[in-house]
Structure 1
Amino acid sequence: MKRRFLSLCLALLLLFTLAGCQKSSSSQDDANKDSAQQEQQKEEEKTPEENTDDVTIRVAGLKGPTAMGMVKMMDDSAKGDAQGNYDFTLAGAPEELTGPIVQGEFDIAAVPTNLASTLYNKTQGKVQLAALNTLGVLYIVETGDSIQSVEDLRGRTIYATGKGSTPEYALNYVLTQNGLTPGEDVQVEYKTEHSELAALLAAGQADLALLPQPFVTSVLTQNENARAALDLTQLWEDAAQGESVLTMGCLLVQKSFAQEHPQALATFLKEYQESVDYVTDENNLDEVSTLIEEQGIITKAVAQKALPQCNIVCITGDEMKTMTQGFLEILMNADPTSVGGALPGDDFYYLES
């Protein structure tokens, strides 16, 4: 009897032990399963943009103020010190970038502001304005002392660059607002690149030209008879009666890129702002001038003198939108073709933080 009772107790003990082990094992399995499910959910919730190393941004710029603001960023990228991955291309004239932008060969491009509007209309809204990067930098330069006012341009021939972009339309607006008709009262002949026209002025082969900084400084350095006769930025503001700022250059982004890679774009804009801050800090003038020369934009000696007059900025968000709208409205009223035939819609402005 005692033996049967002892056997029964041992059997019950074994049964409870096995049940406990099974329960413990089941609980552990459930915990492991829950943990795995949570990890899977986290992975599914992650967007590809949480790792910007997978995205290489193709960036284009022009050899002038629109690209000078990102030379520090370009240098960091070349050294492997940038947060994002970038592939930079610099061109000598806007028309070199227009086709590739339309074809989607660049994700971000530094171009004249009016060209961004034109491309928005041409691509039916496939590009957006991400930032303003250059304000007024245009001057009428002459060899001599005959130009003291806009009226003094009557009957003269001005050599210029930037046909079909901001320089042409800004000049036409200023001339018209001062009672002069381009092509009749004033003749304008266009050259392809800033450097080409600057060389003609420096050599005395042209006597009157519209040029942006830093090429103005380059001419003044090489030709002692040359002078900056008229500041087109001031003339623009006078003609617009304070209702518009001459916003020369900008950063545009492909809309599809902005939608698909918001974090990569945010990283780019952050690094671009840091680059602009570095470039415009007078304490970095010597190093930045070296970087500008290394990128083939202009010589170090000229860059050192010109940088403070280049109006390099990084303006985003609502301020960018307000400044650009006022500028484009004036261009639209003066010549609809200057903005692509119509003012861009609100979706033209990339306002994401």
Structure 2
Amino acid sequence: MKKFTIFLTLILLGLLSCTNSDTPKESMTVLVPNGTPSIAQAYIEHEESSSYIIDRVSGPQSLVAAFTSQSHDIIIAPVNLGANLYQKGIDYQLVGVLTWSNLQVISRFEINDLLTLSGKNIIAYGQGSTPEMIIDFLISQYNFQDEPIISYQASSVQEAYTFFLQDEESIAIVSEPISSQAKTMIDDLYVLDLAAIWTEQTKLDLFPQAGVFVKKSLETSKVLQYIEDIEIATNKANDNPSLIANYCESLDYPFEKIVIESSIKLSQIDFQSHLHSRDIINEYLNLIIDFKSELIGNQLPDNDFYYPLS
């Protein structure tokens, strides 16, 4: 009887061991905008599909809805959008910045500087977000004979590009990889890099664009795991654009492989936790407060805006 009891106990322990080892870890859910942010994390999407459920979206509406509903563990979104919603009580904190200084003007006629755009109608995207801040600030720094007319009619950068293609006289403000895509389709395309003008006017090397926000309730171990994975992903993107372009193609990204590969080096992909980027984030947010404070809820976010990292 004693031997039978020991035998039964060993069987039960074995079953419990198998059950624990076979139980899959709960996947983290991630929401990321199409374009450079999604390309920046494509390595994770391809290589770590068992650990993450990743949804790609276009336009800010889906990001705002996700913040409000807390539908995802991690949301990649414009830094100022996250700061604005933080003032309204969202339960997300900033871990770091994923992409930087990626904004261009495209045109079928020559543009040498912003003054070339005097009196022109310009299609833009990103109202209430990074593009609006950068565009409106830079325009305010020049004495135009006739100020450009900016229309934020496009709900996403993809839609801004669609409008641009429909009108040969149009000018649009877009970002990579759209600029690289436009170069493959239009022979005489002129591109004006707004990041270079930003640096010239502000003396700031970069402006933070896509931030990584995590739900406050997400376990610390998962946050640290994502930080490790996104650092690997961005390094892979910069070191091997061809590999990442292949991954994006296999994941049905809405861009051709050649476009993705050529755009990566122009996209300022570089994940930096807020421990290493706090100064430039604060400089950018302070500039918004001075120029267009409503874009971040009319006040600077406090320290709780940043996820506690040590």
Tell me the TM-score range normalised by the shorter chain. Answer: 0.7 to 0.9
2:187 is matched with 224
Task: After TM superposition, give the deviation of residue 208 of structure 1 in Å.
Answer: 0.8
Per-residue CA deviations over 1:72-126 (Å, capped at 9, x if unaligned) read 1001123x4xxxx2111110112212112122111111111111111111226x2
After superposition, residues 148-187 of structure 1 pair within 5 angstroms as 148-179=112-143, 185-187=147-149
Secondary structure at 1:344's aligned position in 2?
coil
Read off the aligned partner of 2:194 and give its amino acid letter.
L
Aligned-partner SS, 2:87: helix
Is the CA contact (8 Å cut-off) linking 2:37 and 2:99 kept in structure 1?
yes
Who is 1:26 aligned against? none
- What's the secondary structure of 2:228's corresponding residue? helix
1:70 matched to 2:41? The reply is yes
Aligned residue runs from structure 1 range 18-167, under 5 A? 54-78=25-49, 80=50, 85-123=51-89, 126-145=91-110, 147-167=111-131
| Contact 1:143/1:204 (8 A) holds in 2 | no
Distance 1:239 1:196, change over 3 A: same
Verify: 1:256 aligned to 2:222, yes or no: no
More helix by share: 1
**Paired residue secondary structure (1:335):** helix
> Separation in 1 of the partners of 2:114 and 2:274?
35
Distance in 1 (alpha carbons) for counterparts of 2:189 and 2:134: 22
Aligned to 2:277, the other structure's residue is in SS state helix
After superposition, give the CA deviation of every residue in 1:6-32 in whole Å (9 maximum; x if it has no partner): xxxxxxxxxxxxxxxxxxxxxxxxxxx
CA shift at 1:319, angstroms?
A: 1.9
Tell me whether 1:279 sits opposite 2:250 in the alignment. no
Query: Partner of 1:299 in structure 2?
Result: 256
What 5-or-longer segments of structure 2 have no aligned partner?
1-22
> Separation in 2 of the partners of 1:136 and 1:101?
23
Partners of 1:135 and 1:297 lie apart in 2 by: 21
Against the structure 1 CA distance between its residues 206 and 171, is the aligned structure 2 distance closer, same or farther, given a 3 Å change threshold?
Answer: same
Unmatched 5+ stretches in structure 1: 1-51
How far apart, CA to CA, are the structure 2 residues paired with 1:322 and 1:285?
Answer: 29
> Distance in 1 between the 2:95 and 2:184 partners?
35
Determine helix, strand or coil for the equivalent of 1:89. strand
CA contact (8 A) 1:141 1:210 kept: yes
Q: Does the CA-based 8 Å contact 1:61-1:89 persist in structure 2?
A: yes
**8 Å Cα contact 2:60/2:155 also seen in 1:** no
Q: SS at 1:280's partner residue?
A: helix
Report the TM-score, using the length of structure 2 for normalisation: 0.87
Q: CA deviation at 1:170?
A: 0.7
Q: Give the aligned residue type for 1:289.
A: A
Does 1:346 pair with 2:307? no
Q: How far 1:53 sits from its partner (Å)?
A: 5.4
CA distance in 2, matches of 1:221, 1:73: 28
- Contact 1:159 / 1:206 at 8 angstroms: preserved in 2? no
SS for the counterpart of 2:182 is helix
Q: Is contact 1:245–1:326 with CA below 8 Å preserved after alignment?
A: no
CA RMSD of aligned residues (A): 2.0
- Structure 2: which amino acid aligns with 1:352? L
Superposition deviation, residue 304 in structure 1? 1.6
Larger Rg: 1
Tell me which amino acid in the other structure corresponds to 1:91. V
| SS across alignment from 2:261 | helix
Which of 197, 205, 222 is residue 235 of structure 1 equivalent to? 197
- Cα deviations across residues 136-190 of structure 1 (Å, max 9, x unaligned)? 1111111111x22222222111111111110111100100122359xx7221122
Aligned partner of 1:288 among 231, 237, 244: 244
Compared CA separation, residues 339 and 256, structure 1 to 2 (3 A): same
Task: Find the counterpart in structure 2 of residue 3 from structure 1.
Answer: none
2:176 is the counterpart of 1:210: no
**What is the identity, as a one-letter code, of the residue corresponding to 2:216?**
K
In structure 2, the residue matched to 1:16 is none
- How many Å separate the matches in 1 of 2:75 and 2:274? 17
Q: Secondary structure at the match of 2:71?
A: coil
In structure 2, relative to structure 1, the CA distance for the partners of 1:277 and 1:246 (3 Å cut) is: same
8 Å CA contact 2:275–2:309 kept in 1: the answer is no
